[in-house]
Amino acid sequence: MKIITASNQKGGVGKTTLLTLLANIFSQQPYNYSILIIDQDSQMSTYKRRQRDLKLYEEIPTYDVITLNLDDTTTFVKQTVLEVISGTVKKDEKDRAYFKTEFSRSVNLLDEKKINNINQALYNYDPNKSIIDNYDFIFMDMPGTLASEESLKPILMVSDAILMPFKPSDKDIESTLDFIEVMLKIRAHRKKYDLEFPIFSYLNEHINTTDFKIAKKFSDLLIKKEITFSNVHLRRRNIYLRITTMMESFLSMANKDSENDKNIAQSLEIKKFTKEIEEFLTKVTELPSVLDLVNA
């Protein structure tokens, strides 16, 4: 199980959009990973999107989405994930019972079928096995408001990789810089446990060449800090506004729209971006790449 966290203390940069797309890609062939999205948005945007999609589509969602507030996620992290990852926190029976109650209480699920699945999972809770072992990936969708550094820390601490979109405005970059300081502290802390803390950043919603210039200056600094900076920048496009929580992936969307000549650039952007993310995740999670899977 790997925890991939989309984060940036600045709101509205594209975290939820990105994780929805990645969940769609990685839950489908050839990956078929089991994925849990933990939506920590106070507006429950992924939850609402899923409700909408359930009305629109017949297909069964291939991944789970739960909503937890930041405090409950921290509880979740402290009680279970930290132990699994670092092997340093030991739980006794009492803690386990506490976690189980708290987790059941705070989980908001998206449809009855999923409620049953998760309830079943909790019911069958194996004391030697955490519920998180049921997933290949947990995607943490961090809240967009300026949450305090202290409240973000536990979740960042247990993340195997960070995905950090940012927008090309001075204001966005200023607050992203503040956030990077927080992440560098976390990186130093994880190092003490011999844990890596890879960060993937990319420019989202650019519209013109001025945006590129701003991003270029910023990217030099990121690279100096050993933060991966994507070569692909995502433009402001309607296609990203049409993301659903159902079966559509980046690639299927790209292919569909590339039937129209006008959208070839968009299709290329999506494919290249997907490839970069895949490469990054493959490296940091030691998962087989799509080529390995296809050839297997």
Residues that bind ligand ATP (CB under 6 A): 11-17, 41, 45, 144, 204-205, 234, 236-237, 240-241
Contacts for 250 with CB less than 8 Å, ≥ 6 apart: 21, 24, 25, 270, 271, 273, 274
Looking at beta carbons only, is 120 or 169 nearer to ligand ATP?
169
Looking at beta carbons only, is 53 or 205 nearer to ligand ATP?
205
The one of Mg ion, ligand ATP, none whose footprint includes residue 17, by CB under 5 to 8 A per kind, is ligand ATP
Looking at beta carbons only, is 16 or 74 nearer to ligand ATP?
16
67 binds Mg ion (CB under 5 A): no
Strands 64-67 and 108-109 come out as: antiparallel
Q: How far apart are CA 277 and CA 249, in angstroms?
A: 14
The one of Mg ion, ligand ATP, none whose footprint includes residue 130, by CB under 5 to 8 A per kind, is none
Least distance in angstroms from the C-beta of 10 to ligand ATP: 7
Three-class secondary structure of residue 273 per DSSP: helix
Q: Which residue in the shown chain puts its C-beta closest to ligand ATP? A: 144
Q: How far apart are CA 113 and CA 262, in angstroms?
A: 40
- Counting Cβ atoms within 10 Å, is residue 143 exposed (0-12), middle (13-18) or buried (19+)? buried
Which amino acid is located at 281 in the chain?
L
CB 46 within 8 Å of CB 272: no
Among 7, 25, 26, 41, which residue interacts with Mg ion (rule: CB under 5 A)?
Answer: 41
Least distance in angstroms from the C-beta of 177 to ligand ATP: 17
- 75 alpha-carbon distance from chain centroid: 19
The one of ligand ATP, Mg ion, none whose footprint includes residue 236, by CB under 5 to 8 A per kind, is ligand ATP
The one of Mg ion, ligand ATP, none whose footprint includes residue 53, by CB under 5 to 8 A per kind, is none
Footprint of Mg ion (CB under 5 A)? 15-16, 41
